[in-house]
Amino acid sequence: MTDRQRVDEERSLEVLNNIENVILEIVTCLSKDEAPALVLPNRSSWDNISFDSAIGLQMSSTSAVMTIRSDCPKTATTLSQILKILSVTYTLVQSNSYATKRDIYYNHPQLFGSQKIVDKIVDDVSCMLKVPRRALRVLATSKGVISGDLCYMEEDGTRIDCHSSSAGKGFPDVNSRLMVRKLWDVLHVPVFTLVDADPHGIEIMCIYKYGSVAMSFEAQSLTIPSAMWLGLLPSDLERLQVPRSALLPLTKTDENKLDSLLKRPYVTDQPEWVKEMALMQKNRLKAEIQSLAAIGPDFLTSIYLPNKLRFGGWL
C-alpha cells in the first residue's frame, strides 16, 4: 500500500466513523422520545472567521451556529436533506465510488428542490464532519479551465495535456482553487492573478489568495497566500491613459461590494490594495481586461503582460 493509499483509507474510515456518530446521536434522541437536532457552524458568519496572512480566512470557532431541528417546520426539511446526503456519502465511501452533485439532485429532485440546495448541503456536511469536501466522494463539475505547458497524470492513470487556447475565467470554483494550490505546492511556481479592474474582479483575486468565508474550513488546501495581483490595476487605467470610452461607471452594487471589500481583514493588511481601491472609489470607474484593446488590439499580450512580468508592477 502506498502512502497515498494509506492516507485515503484513513480518511475514508474517518468519514464513515463521523457519519456513524451523527446517526448514533439521532437514534439516541429518538430512543428517548426527543426531537433529533443537528448543530452546524454558520458558514456565512464572519464571527466564525479568523485571518492569518500565511493561510488566509479560516474557521476558528463555532460561536455562530445553526440548529437544525426535526420538530421545527422551518428546518425539518433541511434535516431530511442532510440525512440523505449523509446516506449517499456513506454508501459512496463504503463502495469506493463517486457521484456528482448533479447526480444526487436528479435522483432526489422532490427532496432537494434545486441544485443550489444540494451544493449548499454538501458543503454543510463537509464542514459538520470536519473533512475536506472531496473526502465525501461527491464531485462538482469544474467551471474553470487550464492552459499552458503542462501535462499531468490523474490517479486513475489518465494523462491530461493542458496545451490549449483556454485560460482560467470566472468565479473561482473549488476544483480550480485546488488545482492552482496543487501547482503552487508541487511546482513552486509564482501565482499571478489577472482580473477586471472592478470590485468583482478584486474579489475573485482575494478568493484565490485568501479564500472565502463559506469554504474557510478548508483554507489549508484552497488558498495561495503568495498569489500576487498582476492587474488590471485601477492605477493602470490612469497610467496607460485608457480611453474614457472604454471605461464603465461603478454601479450601486459595485460601490457596495467595494465598501465590503475595504472592511475585510486581508485588505486592511494590504496598504497598496487600499490605495488602488480608494482610487476606484474616487474615480467611480471600472474596466474589463478587454478595455486595453482600446490602446491596441494586441496591447494586452504583446506589451502589458510581458512588461509587467519582466519589470514588475504587481501587488
Residue 245 CA to residue 78 CA, distance in Å, equals 49
Please report, for residues 135, 305, 306, 310, the alpha-carbon distance to residue 297 in angstroms, rounded to integers and kept in the order given: 46, 14, 15, 21
What 3 state SS string does the chain have?
Answer: CCHHHHHHHHHHHHHHHHHHHHHHHHHHHHHCCCCCEEEEECCCCHHHEEEECCCEEEECCCCCEEEEECCCCCCHHHHHHHHHHHHHHHHHHHHCCCEEHHHHHHHCHHHHCCHHHHHHHHHHHHHHHCCCHHHHCEECCCCCCCCCCCEEECCCCCEEECCCCCCCCCCCCHHHHHHHHHHHHHHCCCCEEECCECHHHHHHHHHHHHCCCCCHHHHHHHCCCCCEEEECCHHHHHHCCCCHHHCEECCHHHHHHHHHHHCCHHHHCCHHHHHHHHHHHHHCEEECHHHHHHCCCCHHHHHHHHHHHHHCCCC
Amino acid at 209: K
Which residues are marked as active site?
106
CA distances from 225 to 128, 207, 215, 263, 299 (A): 25, 10, 15, 19, 29
Letter for the amino acid at 41? P
Three cell numbers, residue 207: 478568493
